[in-house]
Amino acid sequence: MRESHIIHPADECPPTGGYCRTHELNLLHIAALYAVSRALSRSLAFGETLHEVLRVLSEEAGLTRGMITVVDPESGNLSAHALHGSPPPEPGSIQYQPGEGVLGLVLERPRTVKLVRVADEPRFLNRLGIYQPELPFIAVPIKVAGDLMGVLAVQPEAPDDGLLDERAQFAEMVANLIGQSLRLSLDVAREKSSLVEERDSLRRTVRHQFGFENMVGRSAVMRRVFDQSRLVAKWNTTVLIRGETGTGKELIANAIHYNSPRARNALVRLNCAALPENLLESELFGHERGAFTGAVEARKGRFEQAHGGTLFLDEIGEVSAAFQAKLLRVLQEGEFERVGGGRTIKVDVRIIAATHRDLETAVEMGDFREDLFYRLNVMPLFLPPLRERIEDIPEIARHLLGKIGADQKRKLNLTEMALRRLANHDWPGNVRELENCLERAAVLSEDGGIDADLIRFPSARERPPTARPAPRPPVAETGAANASPPDIDDPDLSERERVIAALEQAGWVQAKAARLLGMTPRQIAYRIQTLNIAVKQF
C-alpha cells in the first residue's frame, strides 16, 4: 500500500473556519458516543448490539456502510460479523486473511488505516460492492486486553473535508467500547458454556441414576411395572402411582420424568400430606404480595415452577374435598390464579400423582371426588409390597448395603443366613424398613460382615422359615377353636367384626371374603389395613 494513501495527522493549521467545523463535529461525536454506549449496555446479545451500533454511526455520526469483522479463533482470519443495512452474513462467507486487502493489513499490523479516497488505493478489494470509490474509508482495530479481536470499518458519507483524523479518532473510541463489550460477551459466553457443560453432565448423571435399567428388581411383577413406566414416559399422560408406603413410588416418578421429553425442564415435588390446606394452596398456586399476613412479596407456586416440566404430587389422597375442586380445575384447564390475585395463569405441566390409599373406596365413602379420581387415574401403576416379591430381596439388600457401605466408607457383606432371615420377614414398612434394618445391622457390625444375628426387627412379624403346614380349619379371632364364625349379615356386628367373620368363612382368602361382602379385593385390603386386622397365615 502506498504510504500517501494512509493519512496521518496534518502538520499544517486547519483552513479558515476549521475550528468551527471541528467543534461541531466533536459535539456530534459526543452525542453519537453516548448513543453507542447506551446501545452496548442495553443487551448482552452481541450480534443485535453490533447492528444497533452501526445504525447509530450511520444516522448520528455520518459514518455509513459500517462493517464489523471478528477474528476467527480457528483460522485466524477476519470474518464479517455485522453489516449496516444488511442481514448478518453467513458465518465464514466473507473472510480476509492477514495482509489481504485493507482489512487484512489491519489484521497483519493492528493500527488504524485512513484512506482519503478509496479509488486511489489499489489494494482495496471492495468485496461487498457497497463502498463508494470517491469517498474516504476508515478501518480501526478492535482490541481486548491488547489482543486484536476484530476490525471496525466505516465510510464517511461525504468527500474528505480535512477532518478525517477526527473521524478516525472517534472510530477508535467506538472500537474501544466495542472491545469492552466484546470482552464481557466472551466472559458471559464462556460462563454459559461452562454452565451448559455442567448442566448436561448433571443431566447425564441423573438420567443414568434414574434409568430403568438401573432400577433394582427382577421379579415378573416389577419388570411389568418398569415396562409400563418406560412406555408412559414418552408421552404427557397423567400417571397415578399406587402402592404402600415405602415401595418406591417417588423413584418411579423420577424415572418417568428423567426418561421423558420433559427431562430438560424441572421435576417439582410436593408431599400433599405434609402441609395444612391453607399452606398447600399457596405452595401449589403461589400468592401475590399482601395476600395474607406474612406475604411480603409475590411468590411462584409449584405449578409455575414446573412449567414445561413435571409436577409430582405425593400422597394425593390426603387432600381435602375443598382443595380437590381447586386442583381439578388446574388439571382440566391448565390454568389457575395465585392466592390473592385475579390474573389467570396458564401452565404446561405433566402430573404424576402417588398415593398409598384405596382411592376407589375413598370415592365410595365420599372422601375423594370421583371426577378428580378419573382425571388422575389415566395411567395407573401398581407397585407391589416387598412381601409379594421376596425374590427381589437379595438384590435390593445388596444394593442398599452398597449405599450404606459408601456412607460408612467400608465394605459390607451379607451372609446367606442373613439373607434367609430377611426373606422370612413380612416387611410392613417395605423397602424403607429394609434399608433401616440393614443400616442398623451395619452399625452393629464391627468387621463389615452381617450375619443373621445382626438382623433385628423392633416389631417382628416373621414367617416360619420351614414349609407352611397344611391349612387348619378357620378359627375366629376370639373364641374356641371349634366355635363357628358369626353371621356376616348380623346387624349387631361392627364393621371390623363383619370383615373378620367374612375372612373366617373364606379361610382367610381375601378375594373370597370380598365376594361374600360384595367388595372388590382392593377394597377389602383397604378395610383390613384401616381396621388393623392381623391377617392369619396358613
Please provide residue 287's backbone torsions phi and psi, each rounded to the nearest 5 degrees.
-150, 160
The CATH number linked to 245 is 3.40.50.300
Q: What is the CATH number of the domain that holds 119?
A: 3.30.450.40
Are 391 and 538 within one domain? no
Question: Is the confidence at residue 486, as pLDDT, over 80?
Answer: no
pTM above 0.85, yes or no: no
Distances (CA, A) of 49 to 53, 93, 178, 195: 6, 21, 9, 23
Q: Determine the average pLDDT of the residues in 502-513.
A: 85
Which candidate, 39, 79, 78, 81, places its Cα nearest to that of 57? 39
User: In this structure, are residues 47 and 81 in contact, taking their beta carbons and an 8 Å threshold?
Assistant: yes
Indicate whether 49 pLDDT > 90: no
316 and 376 part of one domain: yes
Q: At 61, list the grid cell.
A: 455520526
Convert the pLDDT of each residue in 339-397 to its tens digit: 888 889 999 999 999 999 999 999 998 889 999 999 999 999 999 999 989 999 999 99
**Pairwise CA distance, residues 281 & 284, whole Å:** 5
Whether residue 299 sits in one domain with residue 234? yes
Q: Say whether both 397 and 376 belong to one domain.
A: no
- Determine, yes or no, domain membership for 465: no
Helices 46-60 and 18-42, packing angle to 10 deg: 160
154 and 96, same structural domain?
Answer: yes
- Cβ atoms of 332 and 351 closer than 8 Å: no
The reported pLDDT for the residue numbered 515 is 83
**Count of residues making up the chain:** 538
331 in the same domain as 269: yes
Q: Give the residue-averaged pLDDT of 413-424.
A: 92
Q: Note the Cα 188 to chain centre separation in Å.
A: 21
Same domain, 183 and 130: yes
Q: What pLDDT was estimated at residue 313?
A: 96
Give me the residues paired with residue 299 across strands: 287
Residue 378 C-alpha cell reads as 389415566
Residue 193 included in any domain: no
Q: Are residues 16 and 80 in the same domain?
A: yes
- Of 359, 372, 395, 420, the closest CA to residue 238 belongs to 372
Report yes or no on 527 lying in a domain: yes
Find the range with the poorest average confidence among 62-71, 295-304, 512-521.
Answer: 512-521
In angstroms, the CA 27 to CA 175 distance is 19
| 404 and 378 both lie in a single domain | no
Q: Which H/E stretch holds residue 41?
A: helix 18-42
Place of cell 488504524: 112
**Is there a single domain that holds both residue 450 and residue 484?**
no
Q: State the average pLDDT for the chain.
A: 84
Q: Average pLDDT, stretch 403-408?
A: 94
The pLDDT of residue 243 is above 90: yes
Q: Is residue 30 in some structural domain?
A: yes
Range of the domain at 486: 474-538
Q: Do both 257 and 367 map to the same domain?
A: yes
Number of domains in the chain: 4
Judge if 261 and 407 occupy the same domain: no
Q: Is the pLDDT of residue 47 over 80?
A: no
Letter string b/e over residues 243-277, b meaning 16 or more CB atoms within 10 A of that residue's CB:
bbebbbbebbbbbbbbbbebbebbbbbbebeebee
Residue 196 has pLDDT above 90, yes or no: no
Using CA of residue 85, residue 89, residue 93, residue 98, what is the dihedral sign? positive
Q: What is the pLDDT of residue 44?
A: 63
